[in-house]
């Protein structure tokens, strides 16, 4: 970077389920190539920078973020790129704290948005895989009735624009996919990474974390509910905390164990769940109440081919289970399976799982 030139910093803040992991995977795999072109993509676990940006955690250290800025400058980079979708849940004061680490830089926040009809089922499934236990019908009723960021996309942009010292860009993920098959090229172009070969490679980046097995999410949420009862904690903390701008200290990641559930047990739980299923549909012209609020930020969207924030859609429908964890525990073998998952979490053998504090060791098999 030439003397006197300010470092350009781009923070890609998601949202969740908008190709964020695909972008992070793409950038992480090309870190050396990007560095040669003057772009420093900061190191981070699996290519994402949650620990660096997670200002809502009490143990967050802004000095670590400043080290990344200094490293980018020392390497002669003109751009620094960071990516962490948790930013969409941050209250203004946390965003302001993050922005304060870049006072001597030119900072831009970039967020991508999917239409709610595609986003909400995917986001619900993500909550299920990681922590929560609510059915999709319950989730849908709750999210659309409130001020949660999963419905109120406008809150994400309102908070970001209220933070001094940074510009804000919004990307329509749906229009990006229509044009390029991926959101990655649009994100790259808006960061000034416009080499044709890199953009072409971004367009071919595979979508990571597709919800290819919806019934896996259903069974996992039932296991999550039983685990929450087992540990004596609230069942839907990930969703609740995302809406309140708080970090979540207890994560189950029980989908890893559910993948290895005995086939006979899985079939029995699935039969019970399917028997309770109801249909939830989204008409082609459906918009939630917050669509009008998001429209106020049309001027921040960088890739609209016409006046619509999202392209025309077809109607969609799916069936979702309505049973809860107590129903699932009536299936022979389910209590013992949950106990085994709980034991793995307590012993640290469950991948990705963590508990805020040691939980009481109570077996479902004896209750």
Please write the tens of the pLDDT for every residue from 303-345: 999 989 999 999 999 999 999 999 999 999 999 999 999 999 9
Upper half-sphere CA count for residue 362 (Cβ side, 13 Å): 11
Our count of domains for the chain comes to 2
Has residue 220 been placed in a domain? yes
Q: What is the pLDDT averaged over residues 334-359?
A: 91
Percent of the chain with pLDDT over 90: 90
Domain endpoint, select from 165, 182, 203: 203
* 137 belongs to a structural domain: no
CATH code, 79: 3.40.50
Residue with the bigger pLDDT between 211 and 33: it is 33
Question: For residue 366, what pLDDT is reported?
Answer: 42
Residues 223, 192 share a domain:
no
Mean pLDDT of the chain: 94
- Distance, in Å, from the CA atom of 319 to the CA atom of 281, rounded to the nearest integer, reads 9
Strands 8-12 and 106-113, sheet pairing: parallel
Which residue's entry shows tokens 């965003």? 95
Q: Which of 203, 238, 267 is the C-terminal boundary of a domain?
A: 203
Q: What is the mean pLDDT of residues 95-104?
A: 95
- Residues 170, 300 contacting (CB under 8 angstroms): yes
- pLDDT score recorded for residue 367: 41
226 and 269 inside one domain: yes
Contacts of 59 (CB under 8 A, 6+ apart): none
Q: Is the same domain home to 167 and 262? A: no
Q: Is the pLDDT of residue 219 over 80?
A: yes
292 domain-assigned: no
Q: Which domain holds residue 226?
A: 214-279+319-366
Compute CA distances 354 → 87, 226, 302, 358, 362, whole Å. 21, 16, 39, 10, 17
Q: Which of 203, 224, 247 is the last residue of a domain?
A: 203
* Residues near 67 by beta carbon (within 8 Å), at least 6 away in sequence: none
160 and 245 co-located in one domain: no
- Whether 291 maps to a domain, the answer reads no
Instruction: Give the number of other Cβ atoms within 10 Å of residue 357's Cβ.
Output: 8
The pTM of this model reads 0.94
* Judgement on whether residues 169 and 62 belong to the same structural domain of the protein: yes
Q: What integer is the mean pLDDT of 108-119?
A: 98
pLDDT at 210: 65
Domain presence at residue 123: no
Q: Kindly report which listed range (111-115, 163-167, 190-194) carries the lowest average pLDDT score.
A: 163-167
Question: Do both 195 and 256 map to the same domain?
Answer: no
* Same-domain pairing of 323 and 195: no
Do 235 and 187 reside in the same domain of the chain?
no
Evaluate whether residue 127 is within a structural domain: no
Do 192 and 57 reside in the same domain of the chain? yes
From its phi and psi, is residue 198 left (phi > 0), alpha (psi between -120 and 50) or beta?
A: alpha
Q: Is residue 288 part of a domain?
A: no
| Residues 243 and 189 placed together within one structural domain of the fold | no
Residues 86 and 193 in one domain: yes
Same domain flag for 46 and 75: yes
Average pLDDT (237-259) is 96
Residue 294 within a domain: no
Q: What is the pLDDT of residues 50-97, one digit of tens each?
A: 999 999 998 999 999 999 999 999 999 999 999 999 999 999 999 999
Q: Is the dihedral of CA 81, 39, 192, 7 positive or negative?
A: positive
């Amino acid at each position: 970077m030439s003397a006197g030139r300010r470092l350009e910093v781009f923070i890609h803040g998601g949202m969740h389920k908008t190709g964020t992991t695909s972008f992070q995977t793409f950038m992480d795999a090309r870190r050396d190539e990007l560095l040669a072109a003057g772009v420093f993509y900061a190191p981070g676990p699996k290519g994402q920078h949650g620990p660096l940006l997670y200002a809502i955690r009490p143990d967050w250290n802004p000095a670590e973020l400043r080290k990344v800025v200094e490293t980018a400058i020392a390497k002669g980079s003109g751009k620094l790129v960071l990516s962490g979708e948790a930013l969409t849940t941050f209250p203004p004061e946390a965003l302001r704290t993050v922005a304060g680490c870049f006072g001597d830089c030119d900072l831009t926040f970039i967020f991508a948005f999917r239409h709610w009809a595609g986003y909400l089922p995917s986001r619900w499934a993500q909550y299920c895989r990681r922590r929560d236990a609510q059915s999709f019908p319950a989730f849908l009723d709750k999210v659309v009735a409130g001020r949660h960021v999963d419905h109120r996309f406008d809150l994400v942009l309102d908070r970001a624009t209220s933070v001094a010292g940074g510009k804000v860009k919004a990307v329509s993920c749906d229009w990006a996919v229509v044009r390029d098959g991926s959101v990655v090229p649009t994100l790259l172009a808006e960061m000034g990474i416009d080499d044709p070969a890199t953009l072409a490679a971004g367009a071919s980046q595979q979508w990571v974390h597709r919800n290819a097995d919806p019934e896996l999410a259903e069974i996992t949420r039932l296991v999550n509910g039983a685990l929450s009862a087992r540990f004596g904690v609230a069942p839907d903390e990930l969703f609740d905390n995302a809406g309140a701008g708080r970090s979540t200290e207890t994560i189950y990641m029980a989908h890893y164990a559910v993948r290895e559930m005995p086939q006979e047990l899985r079939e029995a739980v699935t039969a019970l769940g399917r028997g309770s299923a109801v249909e939830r549909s989204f008409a082609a012209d459906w918009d939630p109440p917050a669509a009008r609020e998001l429209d106020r930020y049309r001027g921040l969207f960088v890739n609209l081919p016409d006046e619509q924030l999202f392209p025309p859609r077809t109607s969609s429908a799916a069936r979702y289970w309505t049973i809860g964890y107590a129903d699932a525990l009536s299936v022979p073998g389910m209590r013992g399976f949950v106990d085994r998952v709980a034991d793995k979490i307590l012993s640290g053998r469950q991948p990705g799982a963590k508990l805020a504090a040691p939980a009481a060791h109570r077996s479902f098999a004896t209750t």
